[in-house]
Amino acid sequence: MPIYPGSVDAAGQRATLGVLGGGQLGRMFVHAAQRLGYFTAVLDPDAQSPAGLVSHHHIRTSYDDPTGLAQLAQLCQAITTEFENVPALVLQTLAQTRPVAPGAGAVGIAQNRIEEKAHFAACAAVSGVTCGPYAVIETPTQLQAVQADRADLLPGILKTARMGYDGKGQVRVRTAAELAAAWTALGGVACVLEKMLPLTAECSVLVARGWDGQVVSFAPQRNVHVDGILAVTHAYEDNLPPVLATRAREAAVSIAQHLGYVGVLCIEFFVVDDGSAHGGLVVNEMAPRPHNSGHYTLDACDASQFDLQVHAMAGLPLPQPRHHSPAIMLNLLGEVWFDANGQLQEPDWQGVLSLPGTHLHLYGKLDARPGRKMGHLTITGPDVAGVKTVARRAADLLGLPGLDAI
């Protein structure tokens, strides 16, 4: 440590970085690592995985396959993950022989909303920001107690403790009866009930922390979700009140430090109407990896979130990224590839790419499906007004939701 790009060890093996997971985040990690001069290895069972298709090595096994994991450890000098639902035990096993960032402990917390909220509460004294009111429901007795004593949490959102993302594993409930029905519909698994808050905005902060404790971060980005999936990210100065932006950034760094985190971490926040001039800040959840809301950094910053992911895991210095251009990122889901009658169509790339400051990123996925993340479009420019004008035009050409939020 550190692992220098382009280096060759005594056995003649070139410096290789590995990633568990072959989706679009893995693909962009691979591109960043290769640009620096590293070889890359991807472990993913899908022969057509976006990251596997562009990597030097593609190990096609399940994430807990002993043979595949041994091969990954043999090939790589350091290993990361592109998604939080890789078994934490796998990361723990790999860490016995190789540097793994992020570690199993941090990923394990992010995999379980109950543990995640407990961690945020423990950090609150230092971070100055905590999560909203909630209750844990793991048993019928806890359900009954919440129904009887926690009417203040209704209306609320019932979320499964594990495996929920992009709006999955979540049910809005207004009454005690609806809560009971929702818990049954979710299979009676461990859940958290979160009080619905009067949101005025959502934002996220990306933090990178190295093995030596060095921390850098990006300014907060403001996010707009449609049906639980990110649709638009606003990344430019004053996209949030400066007081809130500073608090969010400091809180995210504090949470990463409290975890002893290594790698790129995304912390998502709610901005709530609490009667103050700028609103209050509530931490929502964390993602132990690069994040959809940070994709704009590829085009609007001199170091992207994926560059920092590579630097952190390899033990290289972490440059403080410079945000050089206002940007708006538009998520491209599978719906873009279908017309109003449900027939496949080619999106209007001619029209979109003729617009100034457009940067198209498609993820190499072969089949478009509704709700599937197929790519993103980032618009950059010299001023915010111009970026918004182009973003609205691009969203209109592609029939994207969230047009009124640009």
In the block, residue with structure tokens 């893995």: 26
Residue 166 counted as an annotated binding residue: yes
Contacts of 115-120 with CB under 8 Å at 24 or more apart are 116/285, 116/286, 117/192, 119/255, 119/258, 119/259, 120/255, 120/283
List the beta strands (DSSP E) in 35-180. Answer: 39-43, 57-59, 78-81, 134-137, 156-160, 170-173
Q: Is the confidence at residue 166, as pLDDT, over 70?
A: no
What interhelical angle do 305-314 and 24-36 show, nearest 10?
70
pLDDT band at 278 (very low <50, low <70, confident <90, very high): low
* pLDDT 10s digits, 50-104: 999 999 999 999 999 999 999 999 999 999 999 888 888 999 999 999 999 999 9
Q: Which helix (H) or strand (E) holds 119?
A: helix 113-127
Q: Where are the alpha helices (DSSP H) in 193-296?
A: 242-259
Residue 113 counted as an annotated binding residue: yes
Residue 373 phi, psi (nearest 5): -75, 110
Written as six digits, the tokens of 52 are: 């596997």
Residue 112 counted as an annotated binding residue: no
- pTM listed for this prediction: 0.94
Q: Where are the alpha helices (DSSP H) in 228-304?
A: 242-259, 297-300
Looking at residue 167, its pLDDT comes to: 60
Looking at residue 165, its pLDDT comes to: 61
Looking at residue 149, its pLDDT comes to: 86
Q: Is the confidence at residue 387, as pLDDT, over 90?
A: yes
Dist CA 233 CA 329 (whole Å)? 5
Of 328, 326, 378, the closest CA to residue 224 belongs to: 328
Looking at residue 61, its pLDDT comes to: 97
Looking at residue 85, its pLDDT comes to: 84
Looking at residue 7, its pLDDT comes to: 86
pLDDT band at 9 (very low <50, low <70, confident <90, very high): confident
Residue 285 counted as an annotated binding residue: yes
* Lowest mean per-residue pLDDT among 43-47, 111-115, 224-228: 224-228
- CA distances (Å), origin 252, targets 22, 208, 245: 27, 10, 11
pLDDT band at 1 (very low <50, low <70, confident <90, very high): confident
Residue 84 counted as an annotated binding residue: no
Looking at residue 18, its pLDDT comes to: 98
Residue 320 counted as an annotated binding residue: no
What's the distance, Cα to Cα, between the start and end of the chain in Å? Answer: 44
Q: Which helix (H) or strand (E) holds 333?
A: strand 327-333
Residues 210, 315 contacting (CB under 8 angstroms): yes
Q: Is the confidence at residue 6, as pLDDT, over 90?
A: no
| 344 CB-near residues (< 8 Å, 6+ apart) | 337, 338, 368
Dist CA 130 CA 120 (whole Å)? 6
Percent of the chain with pLDDT over 90: 85
* pLDDT 10s digits, 102-136: 999 999 999 999 999 999 988 887 888 889 999 99
Strand partners, 135: 193
- CA distances (Å), origin 224, targets 111, 153, 381: 23, 24, 20
Q: Is the confidence at residue 332, as pLDDT, over 70?
A: yes
Q: Where are the alpha helices (DSSP H) in 63-103?
A: 66-75, 88-94
Return the sign of the alpha-carbon dihedral for residues 301, 289, 113, 401: positive
pLDDT band at 340 (very low <50, low <70, confident <90, very high): confident
For the segment 218-241, the average pLDDT, to the nearest whole number, is 95
Residue 274 counted as an annotated binding residue: no
Of 2, 1, 42, 47, the closest CA to residue 22 belongs to: 42
Q: Is the confidence at residue 402, as pLDDT, over 90?
A: no
Residue 284 counted as an annotated binding residue: yes
Dist CA 315 CA 313 (whole Å)? 6
Written as six digits, the tokens of 278 are: 């700028």
Residue 159 counted as an annotated binding residue: yes
283: exposed, middle or buried (C-beta count within 10 Å: 0-12, 13-18, 19+)? buried
In the block, residue with structure tokens 């932006």: 245
For the segment 310-316, the average pLDDT, to the nearest whole number, is 98
Percent of the chain with pLDDT over 70: 98
Looking at residue 148, its pLDDT comes to: 86
Looking at residue 164, its pLDDT comes to: 65
Residue 341 counted as an annotated binding residue: no
For the segment 179-204, the average pLDDT, to the nearest whole number, is 94
For the segment 246-259, the average pLDDT, to the nearest whole number, is 95
Looking at residue 12, its pLDDT comes to: 76
31 alpha-carbon distance from chain centroid: 18
Looking at residue 277, its pLDDT comes to: 58
Residue 194 counted as an annotated binding residue: yes
- Domains of the chain in start order, with CATH, are 16-100 (3.40.50.20), 133-195 (3.30.1490.20), 199-405 (3.30.470.20)
Residue 167 counted as an annotated binding residue: yes
Written as six digits, the tokens of 140 are: 């019928």
Average of per-residue pLDDT values in the chain? 94
Residue 383 counted as an annotated binding residue: no
